[in-house]
Structure 1
């Protein structure tokens, strides 16, 4: 595989204290992305000021993409950010997920044509949050305090590649906070469906349309490790609507959504 230019997209909303640790962990990567874009779903000025502070010494271009706060519109801000991404390969991360130092390199090392990649997450427990933020902790191991599902901290990429191959089934392990794919594959299905607002199913519905278009998936096990910071669950009041949209995409083998990324791409022309 030739050199891949990675645009790393981080979604965030009004939690600069967590975003700070995420950006710190990205700045320490063994393999750096081409650029980092913070996809901001309408945060207040505190988040912008944090990004500006990091921009002064960040090792790669760091770009803040913001739209007005009008409820949970993660799909829309991701489409907006990805439309502005200069890389040919997209990695997604949430602003509450600290990354292992080999996170980017593990994704890059597994890149294939017509393939999306997804990894798991280690959970940082609520009881550890005060220590986490006081110490600005970004490094963890199997024996670290304050985490659960610690088996997922084990970094053995070669072993993971032996165990997991490409497949054409949607995995229950899929998480949008640890996901990567070719930008061209994203545009080919018109990106995220912006009819899906509120929490739930927006990532899996996108992937279903990609799979309907012929893109296979591969799980990254024992690699691409992230540490998810505990927070209260988002409202699931739109989940029934989003679930119906996803079921329709499965039933009709949908490959295109009408309300997607193309509106932002046409604005650039």
Structure 2
């Protein structure tokens, strides 16, 4: 490296002659646009008059610094050793050209630079993807409604294996809510045709859970009474008063989360129920 520095920076033969070939004047100036040494007479000619001119000493100092950076860069990104003295001289000329072209290290053609460039591109891409993933996770965590929701299996319409298609499983029973309307007796007949009855022996929780998907419509249930008598389920079992039945009617219906009563000839939709078909915990 020291020998190269000495050869390239110290040999006077590498610099142009000190006398202008055209005007026989000393080459004291350097034309920045034409990148050449000129004399005072050249400066005043038409082809240099509008150009930027600096003292020769300043230009030589700048060129020496550029060549020094080229040589330092070659130590960081070494190329293959020249196979002959002639090849080495050509290589030195190429270094000087690279300095003039503002690519002092010759990185554009250096295989090592290509690998480093590719590595840096992949690193930037990886950091970008990690940042996007972190941002998405942050948005998910802090977005209202993004929290884990409780299991609502019992609220989904069946396709549960223990309930027929179109029925809703809830708390051990299968429920069906009709779209048709009629009086209480026609509702019981409708449910019987589906191997069920108007909803019986059900808690209010089970009825409301099953009705979750059926909207605000009122539905007859299998609860009725004789005038002056207590409520009984349609299958004959006594009503256990797990919930209150409001109103003075003789037939009960589910009404927006509560159970009310009305005259049995009033037309409403029907809520049918039957066991969910489990045996020993298995469907």
TM-score bin (small chain): under 0.3
Q: Which has the larger radius of gyration?
A: 2
**What's the TM-score, normalizing by structure 1?**
0.20
Name the structure, 1 or 2, with higher relative contact order (CA <8 Å, separation 6+).
Answer: 1
